[in-house]
Amino acid sequence: MTRIILTRHGQTLWNIEGRVQGSLDSPLTEKGILQARSLAVRLKDEGIEHIYSSDSLRAIGTAEEIRCELGLESLSTNPALREFAFGEWEGRIWQDLREVNPEVFKIWDSEPHLITTPGGENMGLVMERAWTFLQQIIALHPKETVCLVTHGLTLKMLVTKALGFEVHEWAKTPWQHNTALNIFEVVGDQWLPKLLGDCKHLDESNLN
């Protein structure tokens, strides 16, 4: 059995500003750093042997808090764990995009899996690249416990796939708040969920 721990980075400045992040980056806020530290303390007794992170700085910063708390020597980064690439939307305010593209967002709000962002990705592509990488991690670390730090939509796609749903069934899985915790036990092709979208390490003032 391999244990896979999946989580999201802490709060960032662009999260607060309502900007599209995607493959661009934004620094962790003070709250985001505290969220990451709370997550790290919670993970201390989970027996994590390896940490992998998206190569975005907000994810690396979160993963570093975990690494330091656990006393691990290093962490690995990989672009396969990056957030959904929003292309031309990145860096812009979500609300501004909604006002300029009302017809696109009418679809995005109900069936986002049907949208490929201009110059960017769609949910199916994100699921495929992240899931392929996760399979490689399982093959590389059989019977070990591995933590992966990624992003909101990418994490949701991974959890959706792990629970046996297709990309268009994304709404059946929980939203992943900042530092949300998901734990799976993997036995062969079976993914057994032990924890989903959990934020009990955060108090209400530190949620989101």
- Residues designated as active site: 9, 83
d(CA 87, CA 149): 22
Left, alpha or beta for 198 (phi > 0: left; psi -120 to 50: alpha)? Answer: beta
d(CA 134, CA 158): 9
Number of neighbouring beta carbons within 10 Å of residue 2: 17
Query: Which segments within the chain are labelled E, that is strand?
Result: 2-8, 50-53, 76-77, 145-150, 181-187, 190-198
User: Comparing C-alpha atoms, which of 149, 183, 131 is closest to residue 60?
Assistant: 149
DSSP tag of 13: H
Beta carbons within 8 Å of 197's beta carbon, 6+ residues apart = 159, 173, 174, 175, 176, 177, 180, 181, 182
Left, alpha or beta for 83 (phi > 0: left; psi -120 to 50: alpha)? Answer: beta
User: Comparing C-alpha atoms, which of 172, 176, 173, 196 is closest to residue 184?
Assistant: 196
